[in-house]
Structure 1
Amino acid sequence: MTENAYARSGVNVDAGDRAVELMKADVQATQGPEVLSAKKTGGFAGLYDFKYLAEGMRHPLLATSTDGVGTKVDLARRLGIFDTIGYDLVGMVVDDLTTSGIKPLFMTDYIACGHVEPERIAAIVRGVAKACAEVGCALVGGETAEHPGLLGEDEFDMAGAATGVVDAPRLLGPARVCAGDMIVGFASSGLHSNGYSLVRKIVSDQGLDWDMPLPDFIKPPAGSPFADRVGSTKANDSASGSTSATGSTSANPAASAYTLGLACLEPTRLYSRLCLDLENQGGEAAWYAGDFSEELDGNRVHAFAHVTGGGLAANLARVIPAGLHAVVDRSAWPVPALFKFLMDRGNIDQTSAEDTWNLGIGMVAIVHPDFVRVAEEAAANAGIGATVIGRVGDSAPASAEAAPETRTISGTKGVEGGTVTLRGTYRF
């Protein structure tokens, strides 16, 4: 049989079709009756019946978010572990939606690779599908593109987009944030999906090996998909939280050490269900005088901030309204030991670290003071550590301005709003 000219150029359509067949069951498992069968469209687009969500809403708003995993995909490639990186993609996309009280509806993904290895592509999408199922989001479609000559044989990149809905009167954000609000931090599962260019530079510059065993005081978080590789006695969450297991990995099950590579590949924690549950609980509470107009409801959950690129202060500042000032106490939570390890090995100063990594806080909730206990209990029930890390005020306290190592950040990510002051000393 004569080989197809397209195949001779490096694109294997048959391998792509096989990958689709291998992932089909995982994708379909995320879909309910609101997702229309591809038989109706030929699969060129995913269809979602909006009547399932819009009913009962006063003013439904559609929202969308898109993101990728960044250079963390290179680590997945090097370790040969592909079924956890999908959690990172869903975390980066869906949890951005969640910050405004938006319920995720459906998601699509895009994978570009140098060569389609069906089993590898199916493993990647399997992770995306499992994460989508965990946050209640349908995976309605995607694309796998083979780019020979542009990407190496085993190289790949991935991105995704999600759409959600929120009733306008329940939209969360800076308009709800008030002086006196408390800032509750939710523990991260590790690096999540930001700052990997710096991590990779540290590893390269210092001659480190991804397979190097980490010191015993650096432990996998509870629920880690890699915990069974290092023995149950070593599994512990240094940030007082957990992440949902992603199932088996394609790595060598005989490995016994918790390595630098595994610690850095820990999947991003998913906060969507926790945040939406809190928003629902807060919205059902009796209104309290003076905080909101009728149009804004009486929700005691006012805003969430997803701690991604730029670190805690830069992302928190996005939801602090102009004229208000948030003060965060660095000593309020324990920073996971992995961050200190990377800072020491790479000679990374504190400012660079807190402007790059989450340092143990992956999501923050800004809530009315009488809702703090509810938020902490809900997080504990979800297996996620939570603690009050700061407060919103009318202005920065004078003591904060003069204290050593105090930093104030404002006007980040193109959003003109309030300011955030970091003070105190981290607990490494």
Structure 2
Amino acid sequence: MTKKSFSESYKEAGVDITAGYKSVELMKQYIARTKAFGDTDDVGGFGGLFHLDMKDLKDPVLVSGTDGVGTKLKIAFLMDKHDTVGIDCVAMCVNDIICVGAKPLFFLDYIACGKNYPEKIAQIVSGVAEGCVQSEAALIGGETAEMPGFYPEDEYDLAGFAVGVVDKSKVLDKTSIKEGDVMIALPSSGVHSNGFSLVRKVFDVENADLKKPLESLGGKSLGETLLTPTKIYVKPMLHVFDKVQVKAVSHITGGGFYENIPRSLPDGYGVKIQKKDVKVLPIFELLQKEGNIPERDMFNTYNMGVGMTFVVSSEEADAALAAAKEAGEDAYVLGEIVKSDEESVILC
């Protein structure tokens, strides 16, 4: 039926519905990669179907998360590279879900664009599918909206929504945290998807040579470094959950250390971190230098090289580090939990 669907009047207004059909056909090959992670229906219906297997769940709790990529997309436009921002979109959602202790089940995306270029939309979805594969979640549907006059022809926005599940007895309980517990860091892959309004201002990206290799970035270009996809921590954290008792997890997104770490700590407690122990990535050193940004603002805006933290007892710290490293993460001890009624993050 859709093959006969066509409106010349709508096309003259700037919306080509046949381009939408072509986009769906092109993206199906990428969506197929994720079907192994859930008994799902084919894409194209009015709703995405997912069969929830509850045989190992006594009291299942669904956990949801939604987010977008933000103005990092401006870098993708300037670089004309669209196959990685979908990973960011998935990461921002599933990394939040894992903080509760839940395993992601499925994902849906929403792409709004000024003009539907099917090949570009397919590139975006290829990244979304890759993010789903990394987090073992099924991509069960989405929406592409062509919105002429609202977005420039060559620009788009990208957002997503994920749902996960956890047995109620395994929901992480931060109230079990006590003085002397250890906070462990999992390194980030870069700036991830936060603070790009400041990044764009500091580097004047619209006028910068984004493809020029920079010695300060290990020979990588600024554009390549900034577009590095957000790391997805689902698999390593699930592996750690199987090995030790994790008390709390924090996804270090916008707001950096000062906003996100306190969300994983009970009232009356903080974490004492030696600044020298934080493995800061070169991109943050360059950003701070070029923008003359105060250190406090850096740690209150960016992940500074730490994408995720989790808390375990001091007795299980070594086992937790070993488990994270078994899962491919170069984990390290970030700080110690202390009693504190004033500061939740104490950088020394």
Normalising by structure 2, what TM-score?
0.94
Which residue matches 1:422? 347
Check the 8 A contact 1:330/1:389 in 2, yes or no.
no
* Distance in 2 between residues matched to 1:43 and 1:374, nearest whole Å: 46
Which residue matches 2:3? none
Which residue matches 1:48? 50
Distance change (3 Å), C-alpha of 1:206 and 1:85 = closer
Secondary structure in 1 aligned to 2:247? strand
Task: Tell me whether 1:18 sits opposite 2:22 in the alignment.
Answer: yes
The aligned amino acid for 1:10 is G
Deviations along 1:74-126, one digit per CA (max 9) or x if unpaired, are: 11111011111111111100000001110100010000110111111101101
The aligned amino acid for 1:218 is L
Higher deviation after alignment, 334-343 or 60-69? 334-343
Higher deviation after alignment, 29-38 or 122-131? 29-38
Distance change (3 Å), C-alpha of 1:337 and 1:33 = closer
* Distance in 1 between residues matched to 2:307 and 2:275, nearest whole Å: 14
Task: Tell me whether 1:7 sits opposite 2:7 in the alignment.
Answer: no
Check the 8 A contact 1:112/1:157 in 2, yes or no.
yes
Task: Tell me whether 1:332 sits opposite 2:294 in the alignment.
Answer: no
Distance change (3 Å), C-alpha of 1:218 and 1:34 = closer
Secondary structure in 1 aligned to 2:148? coil
Deviations along 1:34-85, one digit per CA (max 9) or x if unpaired, are: 433248xx611011112x1x22322110111000010001111110111111
Shift of the alpha carbon at 1:376? Answer: 1.9
* Distance in 1 between residues matched to 2:209 and 2:62, nearest whole Å: 45
Secondary structure in 2 aligned to 1:268? coil
* Distance in 2 between residues matched to 1:5 and 1:208, nearest whole Å: 41
Check the 8 A contact 2:75/2:205 in 1, yes or no.
no
Q: Structure 1: 5+ residue runs without aligned partners?
A: 220-256, 283-299, 397-407, 410-418, 424-428
Task: Tell me whether 1:273 sits opposite 2:263 in the alignment.
Answer: no
Task: Tell me whether 1:263 sits opposite 2:225 in the alignment.
Answer: yes
Shift of the alpha carbon at 1:393? Answer: 2.0
User: Please, what is the CA RMSD of the aligned residues?
Assistant: 1.9
Shift of the alpha carbon at 1:3? Answer: 6.8
Secondary structure in 2 aligned to 1:71? helix
Which residue matches 2:150? 150
Q: Structure 2: 5+ residue runs without aligned partners?
A: 1-5
Flag the structure with higher helix content. 2
Deviations along 1:354-395, one digit per CA (max 9) or x if unpaired, are: 111110000001011122222222332333221101111233
Check the 8 A contact 1:206/1:345 in 2, yes or no.
no
Shift of the alpha carbon at 1:174? Answer: 1.8
* Distance in 1 between residues matched to 2:148 and 2:340, nearest whole Å: 56
Secondary structure in 1 aligned to 2:287? helix
Which residue matches 1:355? 300
Check the 8 A contact 2:78/2:206 in 1, yes or no.
no
Which residue matches 1:395? 340
* Distance in 2 between residues matched to 1:420 and 1:47, nearest whole Å: 42
Task: Tell me whether 1:307 sits opposite 2:309 in the alignment.
Answer: no
Secondary structure in 1 aligned to 2:70? coil
